[in-house]
Amino acid sequence: MEKQLTPPDEPRIDVGGIKFSPELVQYTCRQVAIADRSLPIVLRQLAGRRINLTYFCSGRDGDLLRSTFCVAAAAALEVDALLAAVPVDAGDVAGRPGTERIERIAGVGTLTIFPHRRSPALLGRVVASLAEAGIAVHSLCTSISALSVNIDFPRLDEAVAILGAIVDLPEHHSPFRPEFSITQIKR
Amino acid sequence: METIAVYWEPQIRIYGVSTVTGLSLFTVEFPGQRLAHWGEMIASLGQAGVTFQLVTLQPLSAGTMRLSLLLASDDDRDQRIRRLLESGTGAGPGSWRQLAPVEMVYLHGPHFQDRYGIAEAAIAPVLAAAIPLLASGCSGTSIHLVVPADCAARTVDCLRHTFVIDSRPPAGPSNG
């Protein structure tokens, strides 16, 4: 039997809008030892090269940090080189290439849905609907009002079509794709 | 079309900073192919009237994922969520955990998502001060930093080097 994404007893959820990011690359960096100070080094070098992190989140594997961030696809080669060169300054892992602790996913796009109203209902149904449709969710994070979901960039339009079963968008919704970008040129 | 915004700030200006105490951080790790199941579990929390402060989902190794839910701590609610996590994981020991009480520092500011150096300004001082960063999320114009009990004030203090924070915000429990 075909699975129904929106059971009749679950009302559709009104949202204010959905936005797409430009194409991104997602990196997940794992701290390999307490003495591993590579994350602040990476963050400092990214800032020094004026590379914006459009998305960042972290959690802990026991006492060790795991951080996930996204950068514009155009900056990815520079970030790859930077990450490969960052030393892991922990005695027990000295000499291990930086790339061993990094997972990289290219061709990512952020689907931003707002507002979430701090309700797990919208968040949970978005995640379940995308996953049931076979759209890989690479990561997600909530802001004060928006839910940012990182999926495969080429599937952003398909994702919106799937979410159409659970959310109601305003009648005259603005385009999903960004019509302009904001670039900080100096700080 | 490109719009260029120029910022020149020795310290990053913000719209506001707040701290919330008395929170619970629930984390659960599961195989990525179980994501739809966990989405439904999260949705069921909404039906139970639970609201969240922060939710993150991160990839771990070998196709596993970690879901982190930061919620106002409440005995009845915590018990309900523990039951949900136990039922969702098949009560597998070590597959979920609860840290409580924890605290959150929240900042928001102009175009945080469009500006380089924001994550460094938020994360690096906390790590340098040896404050255990339990979880964090920087997306849109928001920065959420989750730290152990009694660490939020110290976290705000160390952020005063990188962000314009005139005074410590009052700390209090969430009403959500």
| A35 or A21, higher pLDDT | A21
Q: Are residues B59 and B123 in the same domain?
A: no
The ipTM estimated for the assembled molecules is 0.91
Q: Which domain holds residue B142?
A: 16-20+102-173
pLDDT-derived band at A1 (thresholds 50, 70, 90) equals very low
Relative to beta strand B16-31, strand B171-173 is parallel
CA distance B64 to chain A (A): 11
Q: Would residue B5 count as lying in a domain? A: no
Q: Are residues B44 and B66 in the same domain?
A: yes
- Residue A112 pLDDT > 80, yes or no? yes
Q: Which of B82, B98, B114 is the last residue of a domain?
A: B98
Fold match, A13-21+107-168 / A26-104? yes
Which residue from A186, A167, A168 is spatially nearest to A123, judged by alpha carbons?
Answer: A167
Q: Are residues B35 and B89 in the same domain?
A: yes
The domain A13-21+107-168: what is its CATH number?
3.30.70.260
> Amino acid letter at B90?
G
Question: What pLDDT does residue A91 have?
Answer: 41
Q: Are residues B49 and B107 in the same domain?
A: no
Residues of A in contact with B61 (CB under 8 A): 30, 103
- Total domains in the fold of chain B: 2
Q: Which of B98, B132, B162 is the last residue of a domain?
A: B98
Question: Are the CB atoms for A18 and A112 separated by under 8 Å?
Answer: yes
Q: Are residues B62 and B81 in the same domain?
A: yes
Residues of A in contact with B4 (CB under 8 A): 182-183, 185
Q: Which of B98, B122, B139 is the last residue of a domain?
A: B98
pTM given for the model: 0.90
Helices (H), A53-174: 76-85, 120-132, 156-163
Question: Are the CB atoms for A67 and A39 separated by under 8 Å?
Answer: yes
Q: Are residues B52 and B114 in the same domain?
A: no
pLDDT-derived band at A96 (thresholds 50, 70, 90) equals low
- Residue A166 pLDDT > 60, yes or no? yes
What is the chain B residue with the closest CA to A130? B36
Total residues found in chain A within this entry: 187
Residues of B in contact with A16 (CB under 8 A): none
Q: Are residues B113 and B157 in the same domain?
A: yes
Q: Would residue B8 count as lying in a domain? A: no
Query: Are the Cβ atoms of A43 and B119 closer than 8 angstroms?
Result: yes
Q: Would residue B89 count as lying in a domain? A: yes
Based on the number of CB atoms within 10 Å of its own CB, is A46 exposed (0-12), middle (13-18) or buried (19 or more)? buried
- Residue B92 pLDDT > 80, yes or no? no
Residues of B in contact with A51 (CB under 8 A): 116
Q: Would residue B3 count as lying in a domain? A: no
Supply angle C-alpha A75, A79, A80, rounded to 5. 120
Q: Note whether B123 contacts A: Cβ–Cβ < 8 A.
A: yes
Mean pLDDT of A20-32: 95
CA distance B160 to chain A (A): 17
Q: Are residues B161 and B135 in the same domain?
A: yes
Q: What is the CATH number for B120?
A: 3.30.70.260
pLDDT-derived band at A142 (thresholds 50, 70, 90) equals very high
Q: Are residues B87 and B109 in the same domain?
A: no
Mean pLDDT of B92-109: 86
What is the chain B residue with the closest CA to A138? B59
Tell me the CATH architecture of domain A26-104: 2-Layer Sandwich (3.30)
Q: CA of B166: how far to CAs of A174, B16, B17, B160, B169, in Å?
A: 38, 10, 10, 8, 9
Domain map (residue ranges) of chain A: 13-21+107-168, 26-104
Q: Are residues B124 and B72 in the same domain?
A: no
Q: Are residues B35 and B63 in the same domain?
A: yes
Question: Are the CB atoms for A38 and A88 separated by under 8 Å?
Answer: yes
Q: What are phi and psi of A37, to 5 degrees?
A: -105, 25
